[in-house]
Amino acid sequence: MTARTRSAVPARRRPLRAPEATRSNAVPAGAWWLWALGLATAASRTTNPLLLGLLVGVAGYVVAARRTDAPWARSYGAFIRIGLFVVAVRLVFSVFLGSPIPGTHTVFTLPEVPLPDWAQGVRLGGRVTTEQLVFALYDGAKLAALLICVGAANSLANPARLLKSLPGALYEAGVAVVVAMTFAPNMVADVMRLRTARRLRGRPTGGIKAVLQIGLPVLEGALERSIAVAASMDARGYGRTAQVPPAVRRTTNVLTLGGLLGVCAGTYGLLAAQGAVYGVPLLIAGLVAALAGLRLGGARSVRTRYRPDRWGVRAWLVAGSGVVVAVAMIWAGGAYGEALHPGVVPLTAPVLPLWPAAAVLIGLLPAVVAPVPPPVGTPVGAAPTGAAAVGTPVGAAPTGTAPAGAPNSKEIQ
């Protein structure tokens, strides 16, 4: 085999590998959120701990394979800890406040506090059974899986790019939501930075005293960041709108509110066990009305969009994999109802249903098709040294002047 032939073999195989992520081919934030919400919808349809663990494992693997070193990408571990805390709280509530689940296998008995007649149905202490503990564990695990799936979206999606993808009618509300979503990742980054600084100075990082000493600088940094974000938004003309006729404004409000109510009712119907019949028509009608209202409401926005995100084949595969997982789990609710909701009275060991588990594994597709993030320390789409100012739009703030946590001109426009 000649040198030219050997060099041609990797060239033919290269299209099978995901390319390195750049600003032009990075997966849009909306695709990551659709994927994560699909997994969260699937988690809401089951209490089987094996399926819930599989969903959490799928989300964790994709996050580990495709997250960057940005501040918001480090929040996934915090969501895992929050999920474990939710499970622990659910178990504690079940032990001390009781449960309506009857049981015959007594674990232990706590002293019961007598309550007045108006508090009938509520008890403090009493008999604790295995059945009620297992039921509380299943219930808490479902909520924890929902939180972890949302945490996966927070770790993979750039909040500023999500803001760029919103329609013009939701721009003002979107800015508020994005600023709120970046609070938790930035707070986690501040806590990690302060803990590292204390560790380097030889000071303790655990205990109540250390938490109090770390909490004050974190709150101070959050206040300074919020003031800087407000000043940045005011300087960039946040809130300016165009004049539209009153009839168009009223039509927009009716379509948007009616569509959102239809989406909420349709989503509830899909998530509820008895609402699958009316859920799909209501969801489709609500989406059509809401999109029409958002289209009309976009006429109020005088904002231009700089370098909008493009949905390529990889973005649609990422979003579609989450949708397929959600649809498959909704379908499995009728075909594998007992396997998706293992019984606790009498106690039965949960089993892993084959086809729902295979559908959950489709959620691993983003780990294969999404562009590979750059090495640690290299931002996505970073320009070469000395070329950062080339192509800067007129009126954009110079590099280094944007406050920490504040969206820059490219992110807002």
Residues 214-226 have pLDDT tens digits of 777 877 777 777 7
Residue 62 has pLDDT above 90, yes or no: yes
Q: Give the bridge partners for 110, in sequence order.
A: 126
Contact yes or no for 304/413 (Cβ under 8 A): yes
Contact yes or no for 27/314 (Cβ under 8 A): yes
Contact yes or no for 47/398 (Cβ under 8 A): no
Q: Report d(CA 105, CA 120) in Å as an integer.
A: 24
Residue 395 has pLDDT above 60, yes or no: no
Contact yes or no for 73/163 (Cβ under 8 A): no
Element of type H or E holding 323: helix 313-335
130 pLDDT band, cuts 50/70/90, is confident
pLDDT at 111: 82
Residue 166 has pLDDT above 70, yes or no: no
Structure tokens at 244: 């539209």
Q: Report d(CA 186, CA 199) in Å as an integer.
A: 20
Residue 341 has pLDDT above 80, yes or no: yes
Q: What does the pLDDT average to over 324-351?
A: 85
Contact yes or no for 143/392 (Cβ under 8 A): no
Contact yes or no for 81/393 (Cβ under 8 A): no
Q: Give the bridge partners for 126, in sequence order.
A: 110
pLDDT at 363: 92
Contact yes or no for 271/282 (Cβ under 8 A): no
For residue 60, give the nearest of 137, 148, 121 by alpha carbon.
148
Residue 354 has pLDDT above 70, yes or no: yes
Structure tokens at 25: 């081919």
Q: Out of 45-54, 249-258, 404-413, pick the least confident.
A: 404-413
**Which of the 8 DSSP states describes residue 119?**
G
Structure tokens at 169: 């009618």
Q: Which residue has the tokens 């009498």?
A: 346
pLDDT at 302: 60
Structure tokens at 297: 């409401």
Q: What does the pLDDT average to over 134-146?
A: 92
Q: Out of 51-65, 262-276, 282-296, pick the least confident.
A: 262-276
Q: What does the pLDDT average to over 330-334?
A: 83
Q: What does the pLDDT average to over 399-407?
A: 42
175, amino acid identity = V
* Structure-model confidence comparison of residues 181 and 42, the more confident one: 42
Q: Report d(CA 38, CA 60) in Å as an integer.
A: 15
206, amino acid identity = G
271 pLDDT band, cuts 50/70/90, is low
Residue 163 has pLDDT above 70, yes or no: no
Q: Report d(CA 248, CA 296) in Å as an integer.
A: 7
Q: Report d(CA 350, CA 353) in Å as an integer.
A: 9
Question: In angstroms, what CA-CA distances link 255 with 118, 267, 269, 370?
Answer: 46, 18, 21, 35
Q: Report d(CA 25, CA 145) in Å as an integer.
A: 30
φ, ψ at 109 (rounded to 5°): -125, 125
**What value does the mean pLDDT of the chain take?**
76
Q: Report d(CA 60, CA 404) in Å as an integer.
A: 28
Buried/exposed code over 323-348 (b: 16+ C-beta within 10 A; e: otherwise): bbbbebbbebbeebeebbbbebeeee
φ, ψ at 269 (rounded to 5°): -65, -35
For residue 201, give the nearest of 210, 75, 224 by alpha carbon.
210
Residue 342: partners with Cβ closer than 8 Å, 6 or more residues away: 47, 48, 138, 348, 349, 350, 351
